Amino acid sequence: PNADAYGAARERLRNQARPAGSLGILEEVGARLAGIFGTIDVRLDRKIVITCAGDHGICAEGVSRFPQKVTPQMVYNFVGGGASVSVLARHAGAEVRVADLGVDWDFAPDLPIYHKKVRKGTANFAAVPAMTREEAVRSIEAGIEIVDELTAEGPVHLIGTGDMGIGNTSPSTAIIAAYSNIPVPELTGRGTGIDDDGLRKKIAAIEKGLALHRPDPKDPVGVLEKVGGLEIGGLAGLVIGAAAHGIPVVCDGLIATAGALIACELAPSARPYLFAGHNSVEVGHRYMLEHLGLQPLLHLEFRLGEGTGAALAMTLMDAATRILAEIKTFAEVGINDAQ
């Protein structure tokens, strides 16, 4: 990011005809976007939410209330435009793209999604590593490739990251456990809505996997390999790819932020391009945001994924750009003695 444009933005915000700092969090969002684009007149014209899908062997432990076949069914729903992220992206003026990183299903090659399947679902990380190290690397590379392919079509001004994968709050929780050292029961939420018995199984499965593999937080690819997910690797790659292209990226909830965390551990220079869309009901998400030093834009008690929180947050990022560019200064409106 460009420090001069950031500084010019902060100065303009300070001189606008309103009390200094009175537009709270959106002022810093606008200034950061100015730094990223090198101008205070930012236009987020082309916004794209990328929803990465994958399946999870950990489902064998009874950690989710939905069957795994819902993952491919929801991929078709995204393509059809009737899913939650489809609706919220339309509201935000964004496109949705879907990527198969590891769904346990054969999609027809002409289905309009990114076909980046690394393998058909992870292994059960409560028993064996979720994937090989090569597969972990490949999933991250696939996310980077998607951004390369997208930008080859034309300029992209904002990328949102979202996920689909039955069972994927378990690997995401395992990842934040590896980075925070907070006990698993304090980090584990109910995902799509499991009952008390399911929650006990989920905590036990995550604890078993962590005890078995002892993922080393200094080796983010190893964390992904041992307790991660293929779509989580893809989501990490999206953040790295976006940053490499100078594109801001807003992440959704627990799963997308797990990917962003892996990305920033691998490539700390990606962090200045990263924004947090919302604050998920899933408790582990809060610790991820703390680890990343991100302040979420929305607090709506969402616990859905798909990119829904990222899509809706895009509307606030658009608002932040307009605040910066369009609110007049005291001098511009001739109120010279107010301050």
Which of 20, 102, 19 is CA-nearest to residue 53?
102
Smallest separation (angstroms) from a second copy to the CB of 42: 14
The residue within the footprint of a second copy, chosen from 4, 11, 14, 25 (CB under 8 A), is: 25
| CA–CA gap between residue 304 and residue 286 (Å, rounded) | 15
Instruction: Name which of 283, 285, 258, 126 is nearest 204 in CA terms.
Output: 126
95 CA to centre of own chain? 16
11 vs 281: CA distance, rounded Å: 36
Query: Rounded to whole angstroms, how far apart are CA atoms 236 and 31?
Result: 25
Is 51 an interacting residue with respect to a second copy (CB under 8 A)? no
In whole angstroms, the minimum distance from the beta carbon of 187 to a second copy comes to 19
Q: How far is the CB of 84 from a second copy (least distance, A)?
A: 5
What is the C-alpha to C-alpha distance for residues 2 and 22, in angstroms, rounded to an integer?
24
73: contact with a second copy by CB under 8 A: yes
Question: DSSP of 102-119, one letter per residue?
Answer: E-SS---TTSSSEE--SS
DSSP state letter for 131: S
**Dist CA 10 CA 34 (whole Å):** 9
- Single out the residue of 5, 16, 144, 221 in contact with a second copy (rule: CB under 8 A): 16
Q: What are phi and psi of 51, to 5 degrees?
A: -105, 115
Q: Give min distance, CB of 48 to a second copy, in A.
A: 18
| CA atoms of 309 and 294, how far apart (whole Å) | 15
- Find the part of the chain contacting a second copy (CB under 8 A) among 86-94, 170-178, 204-212, 229-237: 86-94
Q: Which residues contact 188 (CB under 8 A, 6 or more apart)?
A: 173, 199, 202, 203, 206, 283, 284
Question: In the complex with a second copy, which residue's Cβ is closer, 90 or 214?
Answer: 90
- Binding to a second copy, residues 231-270 (CB under 8 A): none
26 lies in the site for a second copy, by CB under 8 A:
yes
Residue choice 57, 225, 302, 317 for contact with a second copy (CB under 8 A): 302
306 counts as catalytic: yes
CB of 136 to a second copy, least distance (A): 28
Give CA–CA dist 25/271, Å, rounded: 18
Catalytic residue selected from 61, 225, 282, 306: 306
Which member of 20, 182, 211, 331 binds a second copy (CB under 8 A)?
Answer: 20
* CA of residue 15 relative to chain centroid, distance: 33
Residue 303 in contact with a second copy, rule: CB under 8 A: yes
Instruction: Supply the minimum distance, in Å, between the C-beta of residue 14 and a second copy.
Output: 12
Judged by CB under 8 A, which stretch of 4-12, 141-149, 242-250, 324-332 contacts a second copy? 324-332
Q: Distance between CA 135 and CA 288 in Å, rounded?
A: 24
Residues 192-211 that bind a second copy (CB under 8 A): 192-193
Residue 128 makes contact with a second copy by CB under 8 A: no
Q: Tell whether residue 319 is a contact of a second copy (CB under 8 A).
A: yes
Could you list the residues that contact a second copy (CB under 8 A)? 16-26, 66-67, 70, 73-74, 76-77, 80, 82-84, 86-88, 90-91, 191-193, 281, 297-304, 306, 308, 312, 315-316, 318-319, 322-323, 326-328, 332-335, 337-339
Q: Which residues are catalytic?
A: 306
